[in-house]
Amino acid sequence: MAFGKLARVFRVGANTATGERELHVPFWALTSEEFIALSMGSVTGTPLTLIQEMLVASKRASKPGGVAQGLADISVTVDTPLPFSVFKLWYDLYSIQCATHNVSKNQNQTEATRTYRQSGTPPVDMIGDADKLERPRFQPLDKSTGDKVYEGFHGQLPRTHLDVLESKLRDPRMQFLFSPGDWSVAKDGTTKADLDALLEAWVGADIPISVFDLSGVPVAVLDDLIGAVLRILYDALFWGRFKQEGARERPLLVVLEEAHTYLGPLAKGRAAMAARRIAKEGRKYGVGLMLVSQRPAEIDSTILAQCGTIVALRLTNDTDRNQVTSCSSDNLKGLFSMLPILRTGEALIVGESVNMPIRAMIDQPPEGKRPQSDDPMAVVPKGPDGKRIKTGGWTEPIQNENYKPLIEAWRKQDPKAGGPTVANKPKS
């Protein structure tokens, strides 16, 4: 909103009528660690090895953009960003875990498991559909043979992980990740588009600013998702640093809003790890980092110490001022004593981007392009004629209340849904 036509906005559940674009983050562009954490939670030991083996096999047969990936099998690793069908992965894992099978007296369960995995075919007839998340059904056990009988290859993967994966594949809030539009993967490993189209949409040069609105992302996966997006951007530009589209030829500045919410001193999540990496290494490869926060005291000092320029607006909290002051040179520390008395919109600018410390007023965006951060309507202002300009506030009686539009906006996760809003409400 504040940048107008200079920015493209990516959002889960985008309002295309206003020019927003649907946010897609292909799950197969994540590392195996990121993918497993987002889809199943913490997996270790033998189950982790099983999943990684299946991921490598699927990636070797993948066809991004409908074209064979062209890499030698030995160069394809579990972290190579190649497409694989997550629905087929769930189906195969479920089959391995829950299939019924007979084991002869001369064969133990481990040998039977290995035979099944190598054959790639179910041991008994089954029905089901991976794309529709229909679980396969297995034939009943035949105990008349006198052989040992097992139900499922127990110990390969805890059923809890399968249930978590299935739940997230069914969750409509997670479709931006597991059904990412043109980057969705068919059973044979093909996609309509490859990652070049994704990066062109994210950082292409036709519009200089890209805004990722993550308000529609489940809170439980938000930290992992932020870390994954940062890592995708950094890795792509790092490995392509000598290309025309790389960050050395066209630098990228990553701006993290409300940074204190996921970059705290004790933060060990993927967002913090990715931000630390960019802060420490990014400038050498053309990737910069800007942190925006109202509470600098809650941001990891290791990350703050890498900031070459500080734009400090009014700060009254002593702890926050000390954190900002510690990031500057000793001869400038007295300058920050005036932070509590700065006017609204006034800032101190020190660091590499200016020749000398500056005390400046920040220009406000024009009307209609300002962020929705005005103070609540406690007392309604009056016009020149003495009449109220608007209705509402604490001093006005409640009249003609209708909460149905509010509930509709809540359910649709869109503040403009449910009819006219305060900003565009027709004048009476």
Q: What is the pLDDT of residue 226?
A: 92
Selection from 136, 194, 170, 144 nearest residue 39 by Cα: 170
Quick check: helix, strand or coil at residue 360? strand
**HSE (side-chain half, CA atoms, 13 Å) at 43:** 27
- Residues 364, 390 within the same domain: no
Q: Is residue 293 part of a domain?
A: no
Q: Which two tokens mark 316?
A: 């009254």
Task: With respect to residue 354, please indicate whether it lies within any of the assigned structural domains.
Answer: yes
DSSP H/E element including 235: helix 219-239
3-state secondary structure of 325: helix
Is the domain of 313 the same as that of 427?
A: no
Judgement on whether residues 323 and 391 belong to the same structural domain of the protein: no
Beta bridge partners of 350: 310
CA angle at 284 for the pair 205 and 274, rounded to the nearest 5°: 80
The percent of residues in the chain predicted with pLDDT above 90, rounded, is 32
User: Are 314 and 427 part of one and the same domain?
Assistant: no
Q: In whole angstroms, give the CA distance from residue 422 to residue 291.
A: 31
Residue span of the structural domain in which 331 resides: 309-374
Domain assignment of residue 285, yes or no = no
Mean pLDDT of the chain: 82
Number of domains in the chain: 3
Residue 115 pLDDT grade (very low, low, confident, very high; cuts 50, 70, 90): low
Predicted confidence (pLDDT) per residue in 355-388, tens digit: 888 999 988 877 777 776 666 766 666 777 767 6
CA distance 57 to 45: 19
pLDDT at 80: 93
d(CA 280, CA 303): 8
d(CA 84, CA 105): 37
Residue 386, domain member (yes or no): yes
**Mean pLDDT lowest for which of 170-174, 203-207, 339-343?**
203-207
CB 296 within 8 A of CB 288: no
| pLDDT at 148 (0 to 100) | 46
Residue at 311: amino acid letter: V
Higher pLDDT, residue 78 or 147: 78
Q: Are residues 425 and 317 in the same domain?
A: no
Same domain flag for 387 and 328: no
Q: Which residue has the higher pLDDT, 146 or 233?
A: 233
Residue 210 belongs to some domain of the structure: no
Of the residues 199, 220, 242, the one at which a domain ends: 199
Checking if the pLDDT of 205 tops 50, the result is yes
Are the C-beta atoms of residues 290 and 254 closer than 8 Å to each other?
yes
Q: Are residues 424 and 315 in the same domain?
A: no
E strand residue ranges, 155-295: 209-213, 252-256, 287-291
Residue 207 burial (CB count, 10 A): 12
Same domain, 187 and 313: no
Classify residue 103: in a domain, yes or no.
Answer: yes
pLDDT score of 392? 65
C-alpha R_g of the chain: 27
Is residue 154 a contact partner of residue 50, using CB atoms and an 8 Å limit? no
Distance CA(186)–CA(215), nearest Å, equals 29
> What confidence category does residue 422 fall into, taking pLDDT thresholds of 50, 70 and 90?
low
Let me know whether 321 and 186 are in one domain: no
pLDDT in tens, 23-43: 999 999 999 999 999 999 888
The DSSP H or E segment spanning 349 is: strand 346-351
The answer to whether 10 and 20 are in contact (CB under 8 A) is yes
Residue 237 burial (C-beta neighbours within 10 Å; 0-12, 13-18, 19+): buried
Domain boundary among 374, 399, 418: 374
Report d(CA 28, CA 48) in Å as an integer.
Answer: 17
Report the distance separating Cα 135 and Cα 399, nearest Å. Answer: 54
Same-domain check for residues 140 and 63 = yes
Q: Would you list the DSSP string of 127-196?
A: EEETTTTEEEEEPPP-GGG-SEEEES-TTSS-HHHHHHHHHHHH-GGGHHHHS-GGG---TTSB-SS-HH
d(CA 199, CA 252): 12
**Residue 141 and residue 30 in one domain:** yes
From 343, 374, 405, the end of a domain falls on 374
Statement to judge: residues 190 and 319 lie in one domain: no
**Does 223 fall in a domain?**
no
Torsional class of 374: left (φ above 0), alpha (ψ -120 to 50), beta (otherwise): beta
Residue whose token pair is 């805890």: 158
**pLDDT band at residue 168 under the 50/70/90 scheme:** very high
Q: Is the pLDDT of residue 326 over 70?
A: yes
In a domain, 265, yes or no: no
